[in-house]
Each structure stands twice: as structure tokens, then as C-alpha cells.
């Protein structure tokens, strides 16, 4: 009986989450499982999310969006989830762990520590006013320094929210992401080991 009730509850949660995606975007959802921790604290390993399928085929990414994109790795397409930070023509650099856009440091303010998160939480706010949480182990890690680059046409600079545990556009072998590779827009967590996170919306307020 308990197993049946659990199945019913999970089905209801999934349907509600799917309805949210369709209602907010008018686009059919796609489900993804999260295997790695590069986007902690937004999403954590073991969670499942819905995304708006093919959203960026007709929309331009906005800085702050959590995007899903497909890039070739070891002879096959691999799907990544990251936060889009900057677009074509923008200048980006990292200095002592701080993000700089077009010559100005991006605002961040410390938040109270969250016990399950290893490191310091910050609220980072982009120039367009969109805010989200990031986590830093320290500001002296290898990936905390990056010489300024200019984003090429039709490409986007992405970062993981877990700044010291993410392979992203700071690494030359990863690079910026072409618009053609960007597919879906993350929307909502519909399954999580922590029931309190179920239903969490993933995009920052516009």
C-alpha cells in the first residue's frame, strides 16, 4: 500500500511540474537527471529537473539563465547544465575568485553558511539585476584566475555555480558555448533526495 501511495505521489509531482513548465513557457518539458555537482546549490546530484525543450531555438539566452547544451566529448554529444554569464562582445575575466564583466567587478555578498554545502555561499548579482547563489571553497583555487577574453559572435560564456568544482568556460579546453549547441532552459526541480527542494524554480527573477 505504501509503495502504491508513493508511486501516486511521484506521478502527481511530475505532472504538476510538467504543467508548470507548459504554463510558464508554452513549451513541452524534457526531464534531466543531475549526476554531478557543478551547479550546487541551484541543483544537486541525484535531483531530476524539467526543462523547456528547445526553448533557445526561438529565444536568445539572457545572462543569468541556467541552460542545457550539447557539445561533443570523446566522440559523442554530452549534455551539460551551466549558468550563462555573458554573451557576444562581452569582456570576461576572473581575478582572485571575483568575476569581472566589461571591466567591472560583479557584485557578490556573503550569505549564511548552509551545512550541506562545503564552502562559502554568496549572492551574486549580474549587471542586469539578476541574482543567484554561488559557492566558493576559497578565492585562491586554480580556476579563480583567468585573463580577460572577449566573447566571439554567436557564443556564450558559462560558469558552474559551484565555482571551484566546475569545468566551464574558464578552461580553454571547454571554451565558450556556440548558440547552436544551446537547447533547453532549466525550469523546475521535480524530484530530489531532499523533499524540501521539490518544486524549486531554477531561473532567477528577471
Please tell me which residue, 74 or 59, carries the higher pLDDT value.
59
Report whether pLDDT(182) > 50.
yes
DSSP per position, the chain: -HHHHHHHHHHHHHHHHHHHHHHHHSS-EEEEE--S-TTTTTS-TT-EEEEETTGGGTS---TT-EEEEEEEETTEEEEEEEEEEE-TT-EEEEETTEEEETTEEPEEEE----TTS-SEEEEEE-TTS-EEEEEES-S-SGGG-EEEEEPPTTEEEEE-SBGGG--STTSTTT--EEGGGEEEEEEEEEE-SSGGGTT-B-SPP-
Classify 197 as helix, strand or coil.
helix
pLDDT of residue 23: 47
pLDDT of residue 127: 97
Report whether pLDDT(9) > 70.
no
Residues above pLDDT 70, as percent of the chain: 86
Model-wide pTM > 0.85: yes
Q: Which domains does the chain have, with CATH numbers?
A: 2-197 (2.10.109.10)
**Residues 135-157: pLDDT tens digits?**
999 999 989 999 999 999 999 99
pLDDT of residue 24: 57
pLDDT of residue 95: 97
pLDDT of residue 2: 54
Half-sphere exposure of 161 (CA within 13 A, CB side): 28
Least confident of 3-7, 49-53, 195-199: 3-7
Banded model confidence at residue 20, pLDDT cuts 50, 70, 90: low
Amino acid at each position: 500500500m505504501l509503495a502504491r501511495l508513493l508511486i501516486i505521489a511521484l506521478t502527481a509531482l511530475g505532472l504538476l511540474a510538467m504543467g508548470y513548465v507548459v504554463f510558464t513557457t508554452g513549451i513541452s518539458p524534457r526531464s534531466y537527471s543531475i549526476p554531478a555537482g557543478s551547479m550546487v546549490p541551484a541543483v544537486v546530484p541525484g535531483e531530476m529537473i524539467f526543462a523547456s525543450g528547445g526553448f533557445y531555438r526561438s529565444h536568445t539566452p539572457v545572462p543569468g539563465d541556467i541552460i542545457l547544451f550539447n557539445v561533443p566529448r570523446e566522440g559523442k554529444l554530452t549534455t551539460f547544465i551551466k549558468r550563462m554569464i555573458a554573451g557576444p562582445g562581452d569582456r570576461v575575466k576572473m581575478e582572485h575568485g571575483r568575476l569581472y564583466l566589461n571591466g567591472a567587478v560583479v557584485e557578490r555578498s556573503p550569505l549564511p553558511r548552509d551545512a550541506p554545502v562545503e564552502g562559502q555561499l554568496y549572492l551574486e548579482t549580474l549587471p542586469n539585476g539578476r541574482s543567484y547563489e554561488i559557492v566558493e571553497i576559497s578565492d585562491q583555487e586554480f580556476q579563480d584566475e583567468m585573463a580577460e577574453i572577449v566573447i566571439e559572435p554567436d557564443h556564450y560564456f558559462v560558469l558552474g555555480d559551484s565555482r571551484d568544482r566546475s569545468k566551464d568556460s574558464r578552461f580553454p579546453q571547454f571554451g565558450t558555448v556556440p548558440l547552436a549547441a544551446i537547447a533547453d532552459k532549466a525550469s523546475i526541480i521535480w524530484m530530489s533526495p531532499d523533499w524540501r527542494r521539490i518544486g524549486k524554480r531554477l531561473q532567477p527573477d528577471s
